[in-house]
Amino acid sequence: MTHYRTNLRDIEFNLFEVNRIQDALGTAPFADLDEDTARHILQEVDRLAREEFAASFVEGDRAEMKLVDGEVSLPEGFHRSLAAFYDAGWDKILLPESIGGAGAPNSLSWAAQELLIGANPAAFFYVSGTLMAGVIAAVGTPEQVERFARPMADRNWGGTMVLTEADAGSDVGAGTTRATHIEDDVYHLEGVKRFITSGESDFHENIIHLVLARPSDAGPGTKGLSMFIVPKFLVNEDGSIGERNGIVATAIEKKMGIKASTTCELTLGHERPCFGYLVGNVHDGIRQMFLIIEHARMLIGAKSIATLSTGYLNALEYAHERLQGADLTEARNKHAPRVPIINHPNVRRMLMEQKAHVEGMRALLYFGAWVQDQARIHPDDDGWLRLDDLLLPLIKGYSSEKAYELLALSLQVFGGSGFTQDYPIEQYIRDAKIDSVYEGTTGIQALDLFFRKIVRDQGQTLMGLAQRIQETAEPRPDDAFEAERAGLADALGHVQAHVGALVGSAMASTEEPAEIYKAALHATPLLMSLAELTIGWLLVRQADVAAAALERSPNGDGGFYEGKIAAARYFCRTVLPKTARRAAIAAAEDGSLMELADASW
């Protein structure tokens, strides 16, 4: 029986009842899709995710990955799972139309990705060639598109993003991998990269690495980096596979989770020349690489949400089945029947904590996907792209932190059984811990949110989001959600005060440089508060939709809609008040933590 519990009902609620993506289907740029087709795609991806794709989840965790002469053999089950994905053609949902993709809305693409990456994250990382092919199609030269992007799409080649170096870590601009110009767009690359996700496997015919390196005549920092197409096997002009290129896996990491995703050290140009092709034949590496990074950050948010979702749904199923103890009202009755543990107050509290957060984070993910759809529908309005930029650190940073934290509650519902490998929760927790580290730690996401997405933007996009929240928070006559709207309005004020405190410290740092520490100390709490404010807003919107659905059809899907209302009320009552405390702490910051002597730690 599969470990994976999906929530297709909630995904469809977000897409079709709240965000109403069907209103944009059938017209450009989504002219080839209608609602029925979109729903059918989701149903089929859901089935694949639960069955063939999830089937190798445990096998991948238990198998020992070995590097032999620069090659890694994946478990047999992974071969079957990946083949099922490609054979079904679902890679086309993730590809642009220019290289054979379906031209699907981002909302539909992200729904498919949530379903698949939750089923088997280690396996899903091996289909990243679709993302890399799309990037090459967007910014590569016409020759590079035909030579690399098209066969990546047509022949299911793998792909990786290659940034990190051991001594540089998150300081990408400190990278030392060198690129020496040979001719035209051809360079020789030399260096060592580390922590490269799925950097080696025996599934794909070829792997295309997108590598950041510094040309010999380039300056320091990130501006001096360029991006290169570096194939595992060279590609001849007629499209046939040539000899092995000089990029080789020289180590794979032993990890606590996602073990079958080969996290590699890649050595370039050591025993043989490593040929790379300058992407677009222009030196614009960081901007080009951020096309990958931004997608990867949202993908990690989707991974976190999907993992917490299946953790919660497994725990919910167990809570209905596990009989233990009498109802608390019958505690003194020695003959009282044993009841399912979902009857116990603390279990209900833990389950609702998970439900409210995972459904709220899913709402955040699909609101972000809807914003990306709007950017495609309205390409001349850059406000959608700015809103997308603002949301990304919330989707990635908040979701990765909360999913790991709340998976502990999923395990707690199981009690001691959750700590064993009889249930998947312990693997979920190990697989999820990397999410807050991947693609920029939460602290980096928070600095990006405050200094780039708020301060550099002069708060314009944040104010636009605040206006949307304020409209939902406005009192209404005969309102069933009066308390929730009031809580939303209060939280909005606290988040604005929190932002104001940090902006004040940033401005003061122009004369007193140490003042910048105060802003940085409270950037991560700001990320948490802004994410919770946005989630609270989205859950109240969902409660409005659910209440209207119940009024239209009281005998319909009542349990689902009542659960939506309950989640919104719980979140507004128990989570939104945290914004007040964080704002007060930020306002009172004195900076003394940064003055503490090394000997005092």
Catalytic positions are 439
Provide the H-helix boundaries in 509-522: 516-521
Q: What is the full DSSP assignment across 457-468?
A: TTTHHHHHHHHH
**Phi and psi based region of residue 529 (left: phi greater than 0; alpha: psi -120 to 50; beta: remaining):** alpha
- Are 213 and 222 in contact by the 8 Å Cβ rule? The answer is no
Q: What is the full DSSP assignment across 199-214?
A: ---SSSS-EEEEEEEE
Does residue 226 sit in helix, strand or coil? strand
Q: Helix, strand, coil: what percent of the chain each, to 5?
A: 60, 10, 25
Rg (CA), the chain: 25
Does residue 143 sit in helix, strand or coil? helix
Q: How far apart are CA 309 and CA 318, in angstroms?
A: 14
- Are 361 and 371 in contact by the 8 Å Cβ rule? The answer is no
Retrieve residue 262's tokens.
Answer: 């080969």
Helix (H) or strand (E) holding 235, with range, is strand 233-235
Parallel, antiparallel, or unpaired for β 67-68 and 158-162?
Answer: unpaired
User: Which neighbouring-strand residues pair with 178?
Assistant: 190, 214
Q: What is the full DSSP assignment across 40-96?
A: HHHHHHHHHIIIIIGGGHHHHHHSPP-EETTEEPPPHHHHHHHHHHHHHTGGGGGS-
Cis peptide preceding 231, ω within 30 of 0? no
Q: How far apart are CA 123 and CA 102, in angstroms?
A: 22
Does residue 35 sit in helix, strand or coil? helix
Residues 6+ apart with CB under 8 A from 202: 71, 72, 73, 74
Q: Match 């030196």 to its residue by tokens.
A: 283
Q: Match 């035209």 to its residue by tokens.
A: 184
- The separation between CA 448 and the C-alpha centre of its own chain, rounded to angstroms, equals 16
Q: What is the 3-state secondary structure (H, E, C) of 296-339?
A: HHHHHHHHHHHHHHHHHHHHHHHHHHCECCCCHHHCCCCCCCCC
- Entry field: residues in the chain: 601
Helix (H) or strand (E) holding 579, with range, is helix 578-587
User: Which neighbouring-strand residues pair with 21?
Assistant: none
Within 10 A of 29 (CB to CB), how many other CB atoms are there?
Answer: 13
The number of helix segments (H) and strand segments (E) in the chain equals: 21, 12
Parallel, antiparallel, or unpaired for β 178-183 and 226-231?
Answer: unpaired
